[in-house]
Amino acid sequence: MTVQLRRMDVQQAANDLRHRTLADIPRSLDRLIYLASMRDYNTGLYYHDGLASRFTQEVACEALADCHREAFRQLVGCSLEELVHQMEAYMESTCTNASDFLTAWKKLEPYRVAVPVESDPLSAQFLFSSFKIALAILESRRHTHPVEPVA
């Protein structure tokens, strides 16, 4: 019974998170990165003060983990074309120079630390591979249609 109640709390907290915070982040890639940033690298636990104050820290942590897994599944299910669109939009939203962004993402591969801990290894590997291809496509587009620097 307690487990069931707790699960209901987690679902409620996850819905709250979807309606309040994630509703403003429409793309799965942005959600994945946002939710990964809510996770402590040393412990693997997620923190969100607002959610923890409305529920409990444990429930908030599980709700964030649920939403993180959901974003991961959505992104794995995206076509390559959709992933390229999402990456392009994300790159523009960061207001970083495209060349710097692509270089950093190719070298540092930050997407590797953005996946949920218990994600299926094959799905994770598939997503990493798709990111690599998407980055190559974006880079090739820049070479084909270079953006003139603003004087």
Partner 1 sequence: MIQLILFSLIGALLVFALFFAMRRGPRTEGSSTALVGARQALNSLQAGLLPPELVERIFAPEDYEFVASQAPKDVRDLFCAERKKVAIMWVDQVRQQIRSLMRFHLGSARFHAGLSLQTEIGLAVDFTGLLIACRALQVLLYLRGAYSAPRMVGATAATATRVCRISEESLAFLNAASIGGLGDRSAGAARLL
- Helix then strand count (H, E) for the chain reads 7, 0
Taking CB under 8 A as the rule, which mask of x and - marks residues 71-100 in contact with partner 1?
-----xx-xxx-------------------
For residue 100, the tally of other CB atoms under 10 A from its CB is 11
Between CA 116 and CA 71 the distance in angstroms is: 9
User: Per this entry, what is the length of the chain?
Assistant: 151
**Binding span for partner 1 by CB under 8 A among 8-16, 22-30, 62-70, 116-124:** 116-124
Rule CB under 8 A: say whether 114 interacts with partner 1.
no
How many whole angstroms separate alpha carbon 26 and alpha carbon 127? 19
Question: Going residue by residue from 15 to 54, which x/- string records binding to partner 1, judged by CB under 8 A?
Answer: ----------------------------------------
> Radius of gyration (Cα) for the chain, nearest Å?
17
Per CB under 8 A, the segment of 14-22, 24-32, 38-46, 130-138 that binds partner 1 is 130-138
Residues β-bridged to residue 46 = 39
Please report, as ranges, the residues that interact with partner 1 according to CB under 8 A.
Answer: 76-77, 79-81, 120-123, 125-126, 129-130, 132-133, 136-137, 140, 144
